[in-house]
């Protein structure tokens, strides 16, 4: 329940940021194209963050000797 509420808050935050960043990053695109590009950009950033976190946890556990 708490995780779902936090996720919704994060989604609302990104939704509020999209028009500003989209206009700055893609000034010549139409609004619908700009929204699509921002959606792809945020998805790529979120995926990269998740992969980096998993890699860091695996490296930490490997350093502790718990992954053998």
pLDDT tens-digit readout, 4-14 = 677 778 777 77
Contact in structure between 37 and 29 (CB atoms under 8 Å) = yes
- Domain range spanning residue 19? 2-64
Looking at residue 56, what is its pLDDT? Answer: 95
Q: Which of 8, 3, 5, 13 is nearest to 42 (CA)?
A: 13
Q: For residues 25 and 40, is the Cβ–Cβ distance under 8 A? A: no
Question: Model confidence at 68, in pLDDT bands (50, 70, 90)?
Answer: low
Check if the beta carbon of residue 35 is closer than 8 Å to that of residue 25: no
Task: Give this prediction's pTM.
Answer: 0.61
Q: Provide the domain count of the chain.
A: 1
13-60 pLDDT, tens digit each: 777 765 577 788 888 999 899 889 988 998 999 999 999 999 999 999
């Amino acid at each position: 329940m708490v995780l779902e509420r936090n996720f919704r808050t994060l989604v609302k935050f990104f939704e509020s940021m999209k028009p500003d960043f989209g206009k700055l990053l893609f000034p010549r695109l139409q609004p619908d194209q700009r929204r699509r590009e921002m959606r792809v950009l945020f998805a790529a950033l979120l995926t990269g963050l998740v992969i980096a976190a998993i890699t860091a946890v695996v490296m930490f556990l490997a350093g502790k000797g718990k992954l053998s």
